[in-house]
Amino acid sequence: MQRHTDPALMGIFCVNDAMALSTALKVKEAGKDQDIKVVGVDGIDEALAAIKEGWLSATVAFSPSEVAKGILDCASLLLRGEKVPS
């Protein structure tokens, strides 16, 4: 965090909660946790606890099985020549 001194940096989006937890800890250690928000993806228990403790900004629940179901539903519609809802 010491190398990134750009005051315009207001948030960091991480592709999973493990990265977000590590990043949020570094942001907190640098004393920037009030200025830089950190968000992760997965909704794991550790991330939810960190949010309650106030040192992780947010997490987004993600369900690969629901994404796969949506993809298969769209593919099925396309194969039948039907329109996929937007």
Q: What angle do CA 56, 36, 1 make, to 5 degrees?
A: 100
Residue 20 CA to residue 26 CA, distance in Å, equals 10
pLDDT in the model for residue 50: 96
* Ordered alpha helix ranges (H), 1-86: 17-29, 45-53, 64-79
Task: Walk along the chain (86 residues) and give the pLDDT tens digit of each residue.
Answer: 667 667 789 999 999 999 999 999 999 999 998 999 999 999 999 999 999 999 999 999 888 899 899 999 999 999 999 999 88
Residue 78: count of CB within 10 angstroms of its CB: 11
**Which H or E run includes 58?**
strand 58-61
pLDDT in the model for residue 2: 63
Alpha carbon distances (Å) from 26 to 37, 42, 59, 84: 12, 20, 17, 43
pTM of the predicted model over 0.85:
no
